[in-house]
Structure 1
Amino acid sequence: MKTQITNRLVIGARGSKLSLWQANHIADLLRAAHPQLEVSIKTFVTKGDKFLDAPLAKIGGKGLFTKEIETAMLLGEVDLAVHSLKDMPAELPPGLMIAAVTKRHDPDDAFISNTYASLDCLPQGAKLGTSSLRRKAQILSKRTDLNIEDLRGNVDTRLRKLDNGEYDAIVLAVAGLKRLGLGGRITQVLPREICLPAVGQGALAIEARSDDATVQDLVACLEDNATRQAITAERAYLQVLEGGCQIPVGVFGQIVGGELKLQAVILSLDGTKKISDVIYGNCDDAAVLGRELADRMLAAGGSNLLAVLAKASEEE
């Protein structure tokens, strides 16, 4: 299906404060690049927004935050969607594509506490909140003595639970906090040696229909090539490993001295088993590098870790 109207775009977005900030940010950039363009935003409540009492891994993983918007896009109700790239599944539905990737900012995770200055300062048995298996496993790898509990809800809700004393500390994405003007709440940016980011964390993805050349041309001005190369490697890595389920994996690509550096980690749920590796190569071979690193890590024991994770998931 092709959009026939070239001077009007409808952006699909979730109704959360962060999602609306992101959609409005992209809308402003498009209006500045194309003064004749009329841009509006249509909001959706996704399954991930409705079911807040269960861990994401148990109710479907990342696609929970995109499916309703993607369905509307395929039906022609909206022209494009703006997502936090880290919320997008490794595989997109047929007929859709990532038409543009914005320049990545602040890819790391933030430790937030009203009492303790850093992760190292948390006392034994302290309660730390996160909804991410990736964060949980990596933090447990560093601090096996912590009590890590699930934390769902939008950014304001999570901060409120911390402020109400339900947790001693929580972990959120640095980028999301800064986009909402809440960078001052960050107590510590977790070093990547402790917590590698999620695929695409810190970047925004513009999703569009694969056959809609008009929209693809309009959003081309948002594309950042270095970020695209990095996330292409990251997503290729993840596609080899997961398919669609949530697993404790961190992966981060960046251009270093003209080369693409991709580092990754696979962990057991309790963080006691950990496989990490890094690969360097030509930026134009991003997808190949991602798959090569994944294959290497699977051969080094990652396959066994993933088999245990899959079995545990089936038994729940």
Structure 2
Amino acid sequence: MRTIIVGTRQSALALTQTGQAVEQLKQIAAAHGIECQFEIKKIVTKGDRILDVTLSKVGGKGLFVKEIEQALLDGEIDMAVHSMKDMPFELPEGLVVGAVPQREDARDALITRGHRSLDELPQGALVGTSSLRRASQLQHARPDLKIESVRGNIDSRLRKLEEDNFDAILLAAAGLHRIGWQDRISAYLPPEVCLPAVGQGALCIECRGGDAFMLDLLGKFQHEPTALAVRAERAFLGRLNGGCQVPLGAYASVSESSSGGAEPLLTLTGMVGTPDGTTMLKESVSGSDPEALGLLVADKLIAQGADRILAEVRE
């Protein structure tokens, strides 16, 4: 029987979603007669250590995955469970995405005092978020709002809503769902108002490219519609050289081909905005090739000046 060591961040959410993934893999293994057992290894990442600086100022990519990926390369763990939105576009040589399980809710969630919606927030309300993407779109929708950075795990950010005089904070709905705190959500922000981060709501199960046992097991965990959507979003990300430190978002939906063909139809919407929300570029395109779709939407935004916006933000 093989013992599979699973690497994860040590936050409550990371441990919860890793535990859920492991339980599903146990069921898959049992159904296919694969003998294995799992052990979870907690790993601290740079993004976990630096909590007093906004993500856009910490810089670099892979803030929440590099140390875990190194453990994979060193053979200390056999697979890793990441939030897909934390994954840089390029993976280290020797590592691959072994599976993309079915996506949770990709939307952003608003948690407010008095359970208010975005439209019901008072003039000049103070909203907390560590994401330039969320801040840009929120300022575009409500220029009167005051945005301040708030970092930390879900629990600490929710606590700041009560203790630090925030009127609202923005979090990924998927994390709140996975941890069982749906009742804290005051309103879901539709993609038309706040386009999610690339891969938001999806998990990335990473392993070594040469580990045939893991690739076989994880292949049975793959959810193809989610994987297709994520491929389109990540192609968009790669073309724009995006990351946590830029106001960029993308979301792909998957449906059956309208022509009755075997290939599913994807619709990808991408956005790039200025941090203050005064300029907001968006494009939506449909197609069947996820990578080609991601590149096309990115190129349409570049033609409108997205590359200049992103260059200014990085500087």
TM-score w.r.t. the length of structure 2 is 0.93
Give 1:62 deviation, angstroms. Answer: 4.7
Residue of structure 2 aligned with 1:32, choices 27, 36, 45: 27
1 CA distance for matches of 2:61 and 2:139? 22
Give the structure 1 partner of residue 137 of structure 2.
138
Q: Is the 8 A contact 2:242 2:248 kept in 1?
A: no
Counterpart of 2:119 in 1: which secondary structure? helix
Give the structure 2 partner of residue 193 of structure 1.
192
Per-residue CA deviation, residues 222-270 of structure 1 (Å, 9 max, x unaligned), is 1000011100000000001025562101100011343110011110111
Give 1:164 deviation, angstroms. Answer: 1.8
- Structure 2 vs 1, CA of residues 245 and 30 (structure 1 numbering), >3 Å: closer, same or farther? closer
Give 1:300 deviation, angstroms. Answer: 1.8
Amino acid of the residue matched to residue 130 of structure 1?
T
Q: Is the 8 A contact 1:30 1:37 kept in 2?
A: no
Q: How many aligned residue pairs are there?
A: 304
Give the structure 2 partner of residue 23 of structure 1.
18
1 CA distance for matches of 2:299 and 2:248? 14
- Structure 2 vs 1, CA of residues 47 and 220 (structure 1 numbering), >3 Å: closer, same or farther? same
Residue of structure 1 aligned with 2:287, choices 277, 281, 290: 281
Per-residue CA deviation, residues 111-153 of structure 1 (Å, 9 max, x unaligned), is 0012251111112221100111110000011111111000100
Amino acid of the residue matched to residue 201 of structure 2?
G
Counterpart of 1:121 in 2: which secondary structure? coil
Residue of structure 1 aligned with 2:305, choices 301, 305, 314: 301
Give the structure 1 partner of residue 101 of structure 2.
102
Amino acid of the residue matched to residue 269 of structure 1?
P
2 CA distance for matches of 1:164 and 1:198? 27
Give the structure 2 partner of residue 266 of structure 1.
272
Give 1:210 deviation, angstroms. Answer: 1.6
Counterpart of 2:113 in 1: which secondary structure? coil
Give 1:221 deviation, angstroms. Answer: 1.5
1 CA distance for matches of 2:91 and 2:230? 14
Give the structure 2 partner of residue 11 of structure 1.
6
Per-residue CA deviation, residues 188-242 of structure 1 (Å, 9 max, x unaligned), is 0012111001111111110111222221111111100001110000000000102
Q: Is the 8 A contact 1:91 1:243 kept in 2?
A: no
Give the structure 2 partner of residue 218 of structure 1.
217
Give the structure 1 partner of residue 153 of structure 2.
154
Residue of structure 1 aligned with 2:314, choices 297, 310, 314: 310
1 CA distance for matches of 2:277 and 2:16? 34
User: Which structure 2 residue ranges, 5 or more long, are not aligned?
Assistant: 258-264
Amino acid of the residue matched to residue 222 of structure 1?
F
Q: Is the 8 A contact 2:28 2:221 kept in 1?
A: no
Q: Is the 8 A contact 1:116 1:122 kept in 2?
A: no
Larger mean Cα displacement after TM superposition, 302-311 or 48-57: 302-311
TM-score w.r.t. the length of structure 1 is 0.93
1 CA distance for matches of 2:269 and 2:255? 12
1 CA distance for matches of 2:230 and 2:245? 18
1 CA distance for matches of 2:52 and 2:304? 36
Amino acid of the residue matched to residue 15 of structure 1?
Q
2 CA distance for matches of 1:243 and 1:138? 16
Larger mean Cα displacement after TM superposition, 214-223 or 175-184: 214-223
Give 1:157 deviation, angstroms. Answer: 0.5
Amino acid of the residue matched to residue 272 of structure 2?
I
**Structure richer in helix, relative to its length:** 1
2 CA distance for matches of 1:159 and 1:62? 26
Q: Is the 8 A contact 1:56 1:62 kept in 2?
A: no
Q: Is the 8 A contact 2:245 2:314 kept in 1?
A: no
% of aligned pairs identical? 47
2 CA distance for matches of 1:61 and 1:168? 31
Counterpart of 2:306 in 1: which secondary structure? helix
Give 1:60 deviation, angstroms. Answer: 2.5
Q: What is the aligned-residue RMSD (CA, Å)?
A: 1.3
Q: Is the 8 A contact 1:91 1:244 kept in 2?
A: no
Counterpart of 1:160 in 2: which secondary structure? helix
Give 1:310 deviation, angstroms. Answer: 2.7
Larger mean Cα displacement after TM superposition, 222-231 or 29-38: 29-38
- Structure 2 vs 1, CA of residues 18 and 61 (structure 1 numbering), >3 Å: closer, same or farther? farther
- Structure 2 vs 1, CA of residues 116 and 39 (structure 1 numbering), >3 Å: closer, same or farther? closer
Give 1:165 deviation, angstroms. Answer: 4.2
- Structure 2 vs 1, CA of residues 274 and 236 (structure 1 numbering), >3 Å: closer, same or farther? same
